[in-house]
């Protein structure tokens, strides 16, 4: 079974703090993703990585950065946390995404509920 | 950009009832995935449909991919409280190669 783990289930941070969210997958997947999920807004892609040290901005990268030094680990960094970054953060991994591939499944971690006060 | 519209957006039913959730697009997808997300957890993959007209069953859940591969449906027979959650369809946008998620259907099954 694919397993994606996230470092914390719940996190409370103060405005202005630097926050690190860690994600580890054990299936040797090339792709890793960070999403945030907010009521009424669905899943929004923050950043994704298709290989070690490679990253691409998603739909809402502002205020975030990422790091992928090893294939199995993808970190999301909030440089200076703000209250509007209070959200559920979800990490996912997958094989390379191909438009004609039948194997585009993503595998998610349990999520980190971050509260910034 | 391809969009995946799901309907209904919300559904509250009694235990034992049947229901169908729809996932529609104006574009063709090579495959579609269905996920269920329980409150406070990450989405869990339920199934992938690949071939136009394909039907897959997972216990009381029946998934169908439209003949033209532009839409999909999820039918639940005799819903149970454990089916409660957010159901998401998803697939690869063939124009941008981005993985996109549907708008979601939030299901609540009352005991």
| Per-position pLDDT tens, chain B of length 111 | 558 999 999 999 999 999 999 999 988 888 899 999 998 899 999 999 988 999 999 999 999 999 999 999 999 999 999 999 999 999 887 777 778 899 999 999 999
Any B CB within 8 A of A50 CB: no
- Residue among A94, A95, A34, A97 at smallest CA distance from A68: A34
Any A CB within 8 A of B22 CB: no
Average pLDDT of chain A, as a whole number: 93
Size of interface A-B (CB pairs under 8 A): 64
Contact A78, A87 (CB under 8 A): no
Contact A98, A87 (CB under 8 A): no
CB within 8 Å: B98 and A109: no
Q: What is the pLDDT of residue A93?
A: 95
Angle formed at CA A104 by CA A21 and CA A27, multiple of 5 degrees: 55
Residue of B nearest to A35 (CA): B42
Q: What are phi and psi of B98, to 5 degrees?
A: -90, 150
Kindly state the percentage of chain A with pLDDT values over 90: 85
Any B CB within 8 A of A15 CB: no
Residues of A in contact with B10 (CB under 8 A): none
| Gap from A52 CA to chain B (nearest CA, Å) | 19
The band of A99, judged by pLDDT with boundaries at 50, 70 and 90, is low
Tokens for A23? 């994600």
Residue of A nearest to B93 (CA): A99
Q: What is the pLDDT of residue B111?
A: 95
Tokens for B82? 């454990």
Q: Strands A112-116 and A10-13, how do they pair?
A: parallel
Contact B52, B67 (CB under 8 A): yes
Any A CB within 8 A of B89 CB: no
| Gap from B92 CA to chain A (nearest CA, Å) | 6
Count CA atoms within 13 Å of residue B36 on its CB side.
15
- Residue among B18, B1, B3 at smallest CA distance from B77: B18
| Gap from B95 CA to chain A (nearest CA, Å) | 8
Q: What is the pLDDT of residue B46?
A: 96
Give the distance from CA B93 to its chain's centroid. 17
| Gap from B30 CA to chain A (nearest CA, Å) | 5
Any B CB within 8 A of A4 CB: yes
Of residues A101 and B91, more confidence is placed in: B91
The band of A102, judged by pLDDT with boundaries at 50, 70 and 90, is low
- The distance in angstroms from the start CA to the end CA of chain B is 40
Is the pLDDT at A77 greater than 80, yes or no?
yes
Q: What is the pLDDT of residue B64?
A: 97
Q: What is the pLDDT of residue A40?
A: 84
- List, in order, residues 6 or more apart from A66 with CB less than 8 Å away: A34, A46, A47, A49, A55, A74, A75, A76, A77
Is the pLDDT at A100 greater than 80, yes or no?
no
- List, in order, residues 6 or more apart from A78 with CB less than 8 Å away: A13, A17, A18, A19, A21, A63, A64, A85
Q: What is the pLDDT of residue A31?
A: 92
User: Can you tell me the distance from the alpha carbon of B44 to that of A110, in angstroms, rounded to the nearest whole number?
Assistant: 9
Any A CB within 8 A of B88 CB: yes
CB within 8 Å: B48 and A104: yes
Contact B30, B95 (CB under 8 A): no
Contact A67, A52 (CB under 8 A): no
């Amino acid at each position: 079974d694919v397993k994606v783990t996230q470092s914390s289930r719940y996190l409370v941070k103060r405005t202005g703090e630097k926050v690190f969210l860690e994600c580890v997958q054990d299936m040797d997947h090339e792709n890793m993703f960070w999403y945030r999920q907010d009521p009424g807004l669905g899943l929004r892609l923050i950043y994704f990585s298709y290989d070690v040290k490679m990253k691409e901005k998603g739909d809402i990268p502002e205020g975030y950065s990422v790091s992928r030094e090893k294939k199995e680990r993808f970190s999301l960094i909030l440089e200076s946390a703000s209250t509007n970054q209070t959200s559920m953060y979800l990490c996912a991994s997958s094989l390379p995404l191909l438009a004609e591939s039948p194997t585009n499944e993503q595998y998610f971690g349990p999520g980190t509920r971050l509260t910034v006060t | 950009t391809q969009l995946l519209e799901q309907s209904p957006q919300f559904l509250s039913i009694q235990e034992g009832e049947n229901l169908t959730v729809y996932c529609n697009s104006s574009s063709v997808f090579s495959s579609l995935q269905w996920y269920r997300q329980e409150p406070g957890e990450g989405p869990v993959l339920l199934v992938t449909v690949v071939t136009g007209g394909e039907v897959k069953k997972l216990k009381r859940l029946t998934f169908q991919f439209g003949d033209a591969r532009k839409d999909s449906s999820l039918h639940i027979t005799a819903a149970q409280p454990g089916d409660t959650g957010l159901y998401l369809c998803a697939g690869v946008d063939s124009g941008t190669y981005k993985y996109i998620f549907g708008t979601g259907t939030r299901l609540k099954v009352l005991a």
